[in-house]
Amino acid sequence: MEYRPIRIIISGGGTGGHIFPAIAIASKFKELNPDSKILFVGAKDKMEMEKVPAAGFDIIGLPICGIQRKFSLKGLIHNIQVPFKTIYSEIKAFKIIKDFAPDIAIGVGGYASAPLLSAAMSKHIPTLIQEQNGFAGLTNRMLAGDVDRVCVAYDGMDKFFPKWKIVKSGNPIRADIQPSTPQKRAQGLAHFSLSEGKKHLLIVGGSLGCGTLNRTVMKWISEGCPGGEDVEVLWQCGKYYEKQVSDFMAEHPQPSIHYSAFIDRMDLAYACADLILSRSGASSISEICMVGKACIFVPSPNVAEDHQRHNAMALVNKGAAKMIPDCEAEEKLMKEALALLSEPEECERLGKNAATLAIPNSAQIIVDEAYKVLDDKTHK
């Protein structure tokens, strides 16, 4: 395939699960042809406005936002503004399309995707959307009937999208996340000052943290870490919970517990883990499949359409992971984790099954589909 220089708009964001795959796609376009021009369009005041420039790409923010479902005076004022911000975002999206003149527009989900891709389609510009989750988001479901291609990460997505438009691409992930090797494991143990003869439990709740996972771990520590005599814990508590966890650990010191607000080398953390406890966002699942490690997922109940549970069940149903509901985690999670750590053959089985679900060249597949869409439109 010839990767000629093209102009690409990538829209969407709001969460890391949308933003980081989008950045990986953009990076692949640039790798294949450095002369391609890329512009991101996101939602103003969302994390993409910081993360995208940090990755070296230009971004324009739209004032678009969603409805707040919790009733309050602040929420009421916010909701009154939503239709006006939506109309302004639609007008601005048309101007962006006119000024940048993209060859193709790609949506990755999130509020900004809808006005931008709608504007692109009205100008007959080729379009592609990427759906990260096992239960499709509202924006992508709304757009699916009119876009040219739909790239998905899970089987069975034809219940949301026209079957003939679907390509199973997986979710693009960071380039340093690769299948674990003994050498990488040894490097990870040294980096985090972990012991060779112990079992290692990795707990990750995202960059901001996960209250349920943190409370579960603190409860276990306050009880004296029962059953954890030969276990070391590598725990990312998140920036939001850093002070709370730090104060707690000062009162309950445990040399086998290694905690930090943020783990800078997730590639090494994955490599030395025997078992992972995690939320089941799309990016987390894709990374865990890539490294081929056993995991117990605790899906967040605070996400749209309960998509984290759907993500986790896609692995559970294939014998590639375990799952515990959020409401049961504080009582059951550590007991099940320690029991699973005592069964290395079961951990290995889960990890191997997870690895079979990995799609290592996801960004390449999506870029190839973008060029195919362009070629199809050109030859019509």
- Work out the average pLDDT over 274-284: 94
The number of helix segments (H) and strand segments (E) in the chain equals 14, 13
Backbone conformation region of residue 173, classed left if phi is above 0, alpha if psi is from -120 to 50, else beta: beta
What band does 18 get if pLDDT is binned at 50, 70 and 90?
confident
- pLDDT, tens digit (0-9, with 9 covering 90-100), for 291-318: 999 999 999 998 777 889 999 999 999 9
Architecture of the domain delimited by 182-355: 3-Layer(aba) Sandwich (3.40)
204 or 84: which carries more pLDDT confidence?
204
- Which residue type, as a one-letter code, is found at position 159? K
Alpha-carbon radius of gyration of the chain: 22
- pLDDT, tens digit (0-9, with 9 covering 90-100), for 75-112: 676 667 767 778 888 999 999 999 999 999 999 988 88
Classified as helix, coil or strand, 246 is helix
Q: Average pLDDT of the chain?
A: 92
Q: Whole-model pTM?
A: 0.86
Q: How far is CA 133 from the centre of its chain?
A: 9
% of the chain surpassing 70 pLDDT: 95
C-alpha–C-alpha distance, residues 380 and 377, integer Å? 5
Give the least confident one: 138-147, 297-306, 351-360: 297-306
Architecture of the domain delimited by 7-171+360-379: 3-Layer(aba) Sandwich (3.40)
pLDDT at 297: 98
What band does 22 get if pLDDT is binned at 50, 70 and 90?
very high
C-alpha–C-alpha distance, residues 82 and 6, integer Å? 34
Spans of all domains in the chain: 7-171+360-379, 182-355
pLDDT at 208: 74
- Work out the average pLDDT over 7-31: 89
Closest CA to 270 of 332, 171, 170, 355: 355
What band does 337 get if pLDDT is binned at 50, 70 and 90?
very high
Whether 7-171+360-379 and 182-355 share one fold: the answer is: yes
- Work out the average pLDDT over 129-150: 93
- pLDDT, tens digit (0-9, with 9 covering 90-100), for 152-196: 999 999 999 999 999 999 999 888 899 989 999 999 999 999 999
C-alpha–C-alpha distance, residues 98 and 119, integer Å? 9
C-alpha–C-alpha distance, residues 133 and 146, integer Å? 20
